[in-house]
Amino acid sequence: MVDVLLGLQWGDEGKGKVVDFFAPRYQVIARFQGGPNAGHTLYVKGEKVVLHQIPSGIFHEEITNLIGNGVVLDPVTLKKECEKVAAFGVDVRKNLFIAERTNIIVPTHRALDKASELSKGAEKIGSTLKGIGPAYMDKTGRNALRVGDLLRSDFNTLYEKLRTKHLQMLGVYQFEEDIAAWEAEFFEAVAFLKTLNIVNGEYFINQQIKAGKKILAEGAQGSMLDVDFGTFPFVTSSNTISAGVCTGLGIAPQHIGEVIGVTKAYCTRVGGGPFPTELFDETGEELRKIGHEFGATTGRPRRCGWMDLVALHYACMINGVTQIVMTKSDVLDHFKLLQICKSYRVNGQETQQMPYQLSDTDISPVYENFEGWDKPIASCDSMDDLPEAFNKYLRYITDYLDIPITYISNGPGREQIIHEKTTATA
Ligand code: GDP
Ligand code: IMO
Ligand code: MG
């Protein structure tokens, strides 16, 4: 059986921490999409670690970690990350496996990402500039190099062909970048990658399923950044939703079990694009400061705002979410008044549905107000400890979504999480 854990907002919901917490219940943890644009934070032996390419189960020795075919893989980032985890005693040759159909990010993809963003001017997406968009374009354009190609004797010829094409495209953008240094580290990283466990991912995972192993598919980014259903064009280039698990790993839908959605107790977004509940005032500043809302990959300040139930309900619908983990509840300890968006007023009309496009639409959130609580959530270690005002906040959300919130995370550490079954009362 394959359970899925993914982000329900615009990324950075705390997926890394929650996967690390759930890891002991699984034998396999697999990434199925995204690439080094992801930044998943976890704490190992009290030390903060941010993972970009490697699944968040890597610090559990007995767990098999798989980078699935739906991922775009930057060999340079992977090598650095392998060295990082090795410092914690992890032997990636024992518990990390890479699907041979995984597409590779080459240095010119990064240059193309930059060129594309520059050409968009004020309309730029706010990409992490890791080469994600161009790499997925080469996949769907049927030009990409894949991990399995690294083992071919003519790999260098294939690389040269792709490089020439990319340089022509960069010429059209009139964009110049000295990629020689990037190429040197790329080829060094490719040599390293070839020494790792490269497998046929689809047979690998299906054999694990057949053997009765419990598998967790770890999402990257968030549902509102999905290339089909997110706030297009301000999205990433992969299917971040549960449907992406099947194509991103090579498994059939009947093997999917629980779909665990992770949401913050409020909302953040990094990069450009619409964000209806964004706060531009002091409260937004406070959320950023108290929540340490700065990008794990790029260090950019995250935009902050109130919980948006229109977007969250939509995300739960398209993912088939069966349970929710709410993170960063402790950050709200510091506020006297909280708001939750229950509907949008779109061009004067109230709706609970996501409009086709948020960017060109006049949207204002309609809020429900909540009183803050006097006892810090951060100090609670069971449901019975939680203040009534927080329970009221929680109940409003579960009733609206009709999905249980089964865990409340109240701090960044692995053990800072409360198990709860706040079932909908509606
Ligand atoms: P991911 O991309 O979804 O894995 O999330 P990130 O790692 O980019 O960002 C989440 C941030 O919140 C990280 O700094 C985590 O250490 C931190 N975090 C996760 N859960 C909690 C929580 O419940 N409370 C607090 N205060 N911080 C948390
Ligand atoms: P995790 O897995 C938050 C955002 C970027 C940009 C848009 C497109 O840590 O939650 P891309 O580099 O994919 O071309 O950028 O998506 N973005 C993320 N935002 N968390 C992430 O990953 C993100 N990955 C991409 O900021 O707005
Ligand atoms: Mg992140």
**pLDDT for 16-44, tens place per residue?**
999 999 999 999 999 999 999 999 999 99
Say whether pLDDT at 67 is over 70: yes
166 is an active site residue: no
Of all protein residues, the one whose alpha carbon is nearest to atom 25 of ligand 2 is 37
Q: How far is the CA of 407 from the centre of ligand 3 (A)?
A: 19
Using pLDDT thresholds of 50, 70 and 90, give the confidence band for residue 422. very low
Ligand closest to the CA atom of residue 112: 2
Average pLDDT over residues 82-103: 97
Mean pLDDT of the chain: 95
pTM of the model: 0.97
Q: Where are the beta strands (DSSP E) in 227-274?
A: 256-264, 267-269
Q: Where are the beta strands (DSSP E) in 242-298?
A: 256-264, 267-269
Please report the pLDDT score of residue 204 as a whole number: 98
**Percentage of the chain modeled with pLDDT above 90:** 92
Ligand closest to the CA atom of residue 411: 1
SS3 304: strand
Please report the pLDDT score of residue 420 as a whole number: 65
Average pLDDT over residues 200-227: 98
Name the token pair of 241: 């939703």
Specify which residues 365 forms β-bridges with.
344
Q: How far is the CA of 20 from the centre of ligand 3 (A)?
A: 14
**Ligand 1 pocket mutation, candidates 20, 41, 216, 290, criterion most atoms within 8 A of CB:** 41
113 is an active site residue: no
Amino acid identity at 323: Q
Q: Which residues of 183-221 are buried (b: 16+ CB within 10 A; e: fewer)?
A: eeebeebbeebeebebbebbebbbebbeeeeebbbbbbb
Ligand closest to the CA atom of residue 264: 1
Please report the pLDDT score of residue 423 as a whole number: 44
Contact indicator for 294, 33 with CB cutoff of 8 Å: no
**Ligand 1 pocket mutation, candidates 6, 15, 17, criterion most atoms within 8 A of CB:** 17
Of all protein residues, the one whose alpha carbon is nearest to atom 2 of ligand 1 is 12
Average pLDDT over residues 104-110: 98
Using pLDDT thresholds of 50, 70 and 90, give the confidence band for residue 372. very high
The active-site residue out of 3, 20, 40, 52 is: 40
Q: Where are the beta strands (DSSP E) in 266-375?
A: 267-269, 303-305, 307-308, 323-327, 337-346, 349-351, 363-371
Please report the pLDDT score of residue 373 as a whole number: 95
Ligand 1 proximal residues by C-beta, below 6 Å: 7, 11-17, 39-41, 292, 296, 327-328, 330-331, 409-412
Contact indicator for 6, 223 with CB cutoff of 8 Å: yes
Instruction: Lowest mean pLDDT of 100-109, 299-308, 351-360, 413-422, name the range.
Output: 413-422
Say whether pLDDT at 426 is over 60: no
Q: How far is the CA of 237 from the centre of ligand 3 (A)?
A: 16
Q: Which residues of 333-349 are buried (b: 16+ CB within 10 A; e: fewer)?
A: bebeebbbbbbbebeee
Say whether pLDDT at 59 is over 90: yes
Q: What is the pLDDT of residues 214-223, one digit of tens each?
A: 999 999 999 9
Q: Phi first, then psi: what are they for 324, rounded to 5°?
A: -120, 140
**Percentage of the chain modeled with pLDDT above 70:** 98
Q: What is the pLDDT of residues 395-417, one digit of tens each?
A: 999 999 999 999 999 999 999 99
From residue 47, give the alpha-carbon distance in Å to each of 23, 29, 40, 83, 307.
18, 21, 14, 16, 30
Of all protein residues, the one whose alpha carbon is nearest to atom 11 of ligand 2 is 127
Average pLDDT over residues 348-359: 91
Q: What is the pLDDT of residues 126-170, one digit of tens each?
A: 999 999 999 999 999 999 999 999 999 999 999 999 999 999 999
Please report the pLDDT score of residue 421 as a whole number: 52
Please report the pLDDT score of residue 383 as a whole number: 87
Using pLDDT thresholds of 50, 70 and 90, give the confidence band for residue 258. very high
Q: Phi first, then psi: what are they for 167, rounded to 5°?
A: -65, -35
Ligand closest to the CA atom of residue 293: 1
**Ligand 1 atom with minimal separation from the 292 CA:** 14
Using pLDDT thresholds of 50, 70 and 90, give the confidence band for residue 357. confident
Residues 212 and 215: their CA atoms lie apart, in Å, by 9
Residues 334 and 305: their CA atoms lie apart, in Å, by 15
Q: How far is the CA of 409 from the centre of ligand 1 (A)?
A: 9
| 125 ligand 2 Cβ < 6 A | yes
Q: How far is the CA of 190 from the centre of ligand 3 (A)?
A: 25
